[in-house]
Structure 1
């Protein structure tokens, strides 16, 4: 099959591309930086900087939309919010409009989102059928999802609400490793907020599984079956690195330093992947300790 991937140079996208290439699929990557794509994959993928570069007669079977400015890189000023929205909502709208104009349309669109759609819900168990608490992360994810759901009715559309992706190649775990190795790991706030996590291998395999399962439609929580609190996550990571982690970052300091963005650290979602299990996906890493054993021993 021929996959078109946006965000193909990101943490999830680059790993996804490698898996698809290994499996013998054709891959086209849409990126603002063609050279970065070439540096990652040489001539194994087709790199395009505009959808207009893809010929109408060049069949695309599956579109996977993962592009988006990292949400935790900068404080959420009005300017930064505009960047976050443009990189997700505007791009997705452009992608869907391109699909509508295609003579030979893809049969499947899989578009990214995040468990932030649910807002901060404390210890309340959350499935794909749960409601939400209204905050900025919900508003951002909702607009992002609705842009994808505007795809034509004859295209199978799936939304992936991703949790914290664990990898030593990037993302939240990579940023945490150095301070934890220095003995500066700490609990955030009271540590009771849930951190819905997923191993990089599972998020990639889940996306591929959904892409190749014609019965899979709608919303999917891309999270491991056993979410943990921030306190548990902190203790587990410190244990695997054989370092202490007795420090605490008070809620007041985080709010002062990060402003509205502090909700990413102080809020949480106890999300469960009910629909992924319903369609038969088998998680390789269901427990946090097993995920850390794999990632940290490998690194």
Structure 2
């Protein structure tokens, strides 16, 4: 990011917009607090990384309009977290992580792509943009939805202590922290989510996954 920003600042003709990837980790562990783009950052390691990353990108302004994409869990059939989340359910071993009360923000890949491209066509998009569905859910609701779509029970709760033993501090940052993100800028611009609700989004992803398996 620093190299790109410095190139923009040196350029005789800077690009109209710099789109920089960030993450929902910017907000840290915030319980059930609703987090908009105006909310302050968290204080844990991942939050500090995101803050530093965004500060580098912001240096490109005003030469370029800077857009910071704070991405939630992306639902995709092949990549990201979802394929790994599904695996335990196939063996009837899925269930909530820790207390299950932590909020997980999520977004279907189709909505992520549409919102990530929006700054190229709409000059109103600027600054941080929360890329998450308008309906975040708790981890217990998320895992229950996976079980519902896969027709599998979600009885096996993974205790926090076991997750920390296996993953260390990353268990808190990636699995146990609570981020209830609201896509305020996208909604304010009138963006209509293709998949605002979790169960239809999961059903669409799993249909794509099954179709891909048949083709191959």
| 1:140 maps onto 2:37 in alignment | no
The residue number in structure 2 matching 1:222 is: 131
The residue number in structure 2 matching 1:238 is: 147
Post-superposition offset of 1:152: 3.8
Contact 2:42 2:48 in 1 (8 A): no
The residue number in structure 1 matching 2:177 is: 267
Contact 1:209 1:281 in 2 (8 A): no
Contact 2:74 2:80 in 1 (8 A): yes
CA distance in 1, matches of 2:42, 2:123: 32
| Alignment counterpart, residue 76 of structure 2, candidates 167, 170, 190 | 167
The residue number in structure 1 matching 2:214 is: none
CA distance in 2, matches of 1:107, 1:211: 9
Post-superposition offset of 1:178: 2.1
CA RMSD in angstroms comes to 1.1
Post-superposition offset of 1:170: 0.4
| Alignment counterpart, residue 284 of structure 1, candidates 180, 194, 203 | 194
- List 4+ stretches of structure 1 deviating above 3 A: none
Structure with larger RCO (C-alpha < 8 A, sep 6+):
2
For 1:57-136, list aligned pairs within 5 A: 92-136=1-45
CA distance in 2, matches of 1:174, 1:162: 18
Q: Which runs of 5+ in 1 are unaligned?
A: 1-91
CA distance in 1, matches of 2:137, 2:119: 25
Post-superposition offset of 1:210: 2.1
> CA, structure 1 residues 101+132, in 2 after alignment: closer, same or farther (shift >3 Å)?
closer
Post-superposition offset of 1:155: 0.8
The residue number in structure 2 matching 1:77 is: none
| Alignment counterpart, residue 203 of structure 1, candidates 98, 106, 112 | 112
CA distance in 1, matches of 2:17, 2:2: 16
- Number of aligned residues: 208
CA distance in 2, matches of 1:293, 1:189: 25
CA distance in 1, matches of 2:63, 2:13: 12
1:112 counterpart SS class: strand
CA distance in 1, matches of 2:31, 2:192: 27
User: Which has the higher mean CA deviation after the structures are superposed, 248-257 or 97-106?
Assistant: 97-106
CA distance in 1, matches of 2:180, 2:37: 12
Normalised to the residue count of structure 1, the TM-score between the two structures is 0.68
